[in-house]
């Protein structure tokens, strides 16, 4: 049998093995207990969050420079965590570059990305970006000499024993989330309602008062803005889920709400600075145009009417890090944290700090070298 024949045989063999597994994940979502509340580290202390955006672990993994990017990204996260010592971390999408990952279980790279946070005992949550479950893209150069590189992709319980197995099929959103939740006690991520599928990672966490454990200081909403295996959009079903959930837990809009997703909405285009960054916007990078979601399905209209909605934080655009006001709330980009992905701008992370008395939301950017800039008060 030729090498090509061997490759095709073992790929099809893998497909037979993993297909039932994928189906079982879709129809039987594991659930995580409710009540994953967040609290400041000390009475009266602010609650600090670090946002890690666009890490792109696993990018160009078959090259010499690809794995080095992951090492550099780990260094950035470690520097930010050691300087800021946050109470919580949010992975704001594009944790991995799935379209470059050869092995079926991309969770191995996802696990590397969360390791600096986990090693420090800091809890975290994550949302999906457009690259996290993107289909594998075959590099054109692999079809010339010397051809497809030798790749070792062992699969447990494979009937194709004694051979090298590679499926090039990536890992679906549900499986990535399943592995993160089940293998990490510090993860506060959730699957979200089944009815919102294929959208995954739609959920809400509450920051509780250090003085009154039954009193919420803020609600943190996480939404999947799509991309990868389905269109880049927050659906009308997600907007309706948000409306009903907010009505349930915050009926009088008395508790502030902060929202996180990956791809900016079209409202970001409307407020984007034209030349440089000038007040009332605050930031240091305005090096590209906003790359928004494909359509607006009602989420922004809903948020604009809520006096409790204070700010939205997104990633996706590596060359933008500004915050600009939009009606009664702020629209903010994070800072490109990972060395993976496009652009050579200096790396860093956006920090969000919530103070209870008096209530305020402040933000700034902590760079890899320790410098701080772009401080802004988002809610007095």
Determine the pLDDT at residue 159.
Answer: 32
In tens, the pLDDT along 151-178 reads 644 333 333 333 334 455 568 899 999 9
Question: What pLDDT does 150 receive?
Answer: 65
**What is the predicted pLDDT for the residue at 167?**
53
Would the pLDDT of 220 be above 80? yes
pLDDT confidence bin for 104, thresholds 50/70/90: low
316-373 confidence digits (pLDDT tens)? 999 999 999 999 999 999 999 999 999 999 999 999 999 998 999 999 999 999 999 9
Q: Answer yes or no: is pLDDT of 10 > 60.
A: no
The answer to whether the Cα torsion of 155, 160, 163, 169 is positive or negative is negative
Checking if the pLDDT of 119 tops 70, the result is yes
Kindly state the tokens that stand for 195.
């009815």
Reply yes or no on whether the pLDDT at 138 is more than 90. no
Tell me the domain boundaries of the chain: 31-135+170-379
Res. 102: pLDDT tops 80: no
Q: Stretch 78-103: mean pLDDT, rounded?
A: 93
Answer with the residue of higher pLDDT: 368 or 106: 368
Cα Rg of the chain (Å, integer) = 21
* Mean of all residue pLDDT scores within the chain: 85
Please state which architecture CATH assigns to domain 31-135+170-379.
4-Layer Sandwich (3.60)
pLDDT at residue 103, as a whole number: 65
User: With contact defined as beta carbons under 8 Å apart, do 279 and 241 qualify?
Assistant: no
More reliable by pLDDT, 105 or 229: 229
Q: What is the pLDDT of residue 168?
A: 54
- Mean pLDDT throughout 207-229? 92
pLDDT digits (tens, 9 = 90+) for 36-51: 578 777 777 899 999 9
**pLDDT over 80 at 239, yes or no:** yes
The 124-126 sheet, strands edge to edge:
124-126, 88-91, 47-52, 348-355, 360-367, 372-379
Residues 6+ apart with CB under 8 A from 202: 190, 192, 193, 196, 222, 223, 224, 238, 241
Residue 83 has pLDDT above 60, yes or no: yes
Residue 33's pLDDT band (boundaries 50, 70, 90)?
very low
Q: Higher-confidence residue: 92 or 21?
A: 92
**141-154, pLDDT tens digit by residue?**
778 777 766 664 43
Is the pLDDT at 60 greater than 70, yes or no?
yes
Q: Is the pTM of this model over 0.75?
A: yes
Q: Which of 141, 316, 109 is nearest to 232 (CA)?
A: 316
Residue 186 has pLDDT above 80, yes or no: yes
**Among 14-28, 29-43, 268-282, the least confident range:** 14-28
Report the alpha-carbon distance of residue 6 to residue 8 in Å, rounded: 6
Helix (H) or strand (E) holding 76: helix 65-84
CB atoms within 10 A of CB 231: 14
Averaged pLDDT for residues 28-37: 42
Comparison of pLDDT for 19 and 271, the residue scoring more: 271
Task: Tell whether the model's pLDDT for residue 193 goes beyond 90.
Answer: yes
User: Is the Cβ–Cβ distance between 271 and 326 less than 8 Å?
Assistant: yes
Asked if 335 contacts 349 with a C-beta cutoff of 8 angstroms, the reply is yes
Give the pLDDT confidence score for residue 301 in this predicted structure: 96
Q: Say which residue, 24 or 195, is predicted with more confidence.
A: 195
Q: What is the DSSP string of 81-143?
A: HHHH--SEEEE-S--B-GGG--SS-THHHHHHHHHHHHHTT--EEE---TTTTPPP---GGGG
Q: Residue 4 to residues 11, 65, 167, 169: CA-CA distances in angstroms?
A: 11, 27, 14, 17
Give yes or no for residue 204 having a pLDDT over 80: yes
What is the DSSP secondary structure assignment for residue 44, as one 8-state letter? Answer: T
Spatial CB neighbours of 55, under 8 Å, sequence gap ≥ 6:
73, 77, 91, 94, 95, 96, 113, 337, 338, 340
φ, ψ dihedrals at 276, nearest 5°: 65, -165
Please tell me the distance from the alpha carbon of residue 119 to that of residue 116, in angstroms, as a whole number: 5
User: For position 315, what pLDDT does the model report?
Assistant: 98
């Amino acid at each position: 049998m030729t090498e090509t024949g061997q490759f095709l045989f073992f790929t099809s063999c893998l497909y037979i093995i993993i297909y039932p597994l994928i189906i079982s994940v879709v129809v039987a979502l594991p659930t995580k207990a409710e009540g994953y509340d967040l609290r400041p580290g000390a009475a009266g202390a602010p609650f600090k969050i670090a946002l890690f955006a666009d890490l792109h672990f696993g990018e160009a993994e078959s090259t010499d420079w690809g794995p080095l990017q992951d090492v550099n990204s780990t260094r950035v996260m470690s520097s930010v965590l050691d300087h800021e010592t946050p109470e919580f971390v949010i992975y704001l999408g594009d944790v991995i570059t799935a379209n470059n990952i050869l092995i079926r279980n991309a969770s191995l790279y996802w696990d590397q990305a969360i390791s600096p946070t986990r090693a420090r005992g800091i809890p975290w949550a994550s949302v999906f970006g457009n690259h996290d479950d993107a289909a594998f893209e075959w590099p054109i150069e692999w079809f010339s000499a010397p051809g497809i590189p030798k790749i070792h992709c062992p699969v447990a319980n494979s009937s194709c024993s004694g051979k090298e197995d590679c499926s090039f099929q990536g890992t679906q959103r549900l499986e990535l989330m399943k592995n993160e939740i089940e293998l990490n006690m510090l993860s506060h991520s959730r699957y979200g309602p089944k009815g919102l599928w294929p959208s995954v990672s739609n959920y809400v966490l509450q920051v509780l008062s250090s003085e009154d454990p039954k009193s919420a200081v803020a609600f943190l909403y996480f939404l999947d803005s799509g991309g990868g295996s389905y269109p880049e959009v927050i659906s009308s079903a997600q907007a309706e889920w948000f409306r009903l959930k907010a009505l349930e837990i915050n009926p009088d809009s008395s508790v502030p709400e902060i929202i996180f997703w990956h791809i900016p909405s079209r409202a970001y285009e409307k407020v984007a600075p034209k030349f440089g960054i000038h007040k009332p916007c605050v930031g240091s990078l305005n090096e590209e145009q906003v790359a928004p979601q494909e359509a607006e399905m009602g989420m922004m209209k809903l948020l604009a009417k809520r006096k409790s909605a204070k700010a939205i934080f997104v990633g996706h655009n590596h060359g933008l890090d500004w915050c600009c006001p939009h009606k009664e709330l702020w629209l903010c980009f994070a800072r490109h944290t990972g060395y993976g992905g496009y652009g050579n701008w200096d790396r860093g992370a956006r920090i969000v700090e919530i103070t209870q008395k008096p209530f305020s939301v402040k933000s700034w950017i902590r760079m890899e070298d320790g410098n701080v800039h772009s401080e802004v008060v988002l809610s007095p």
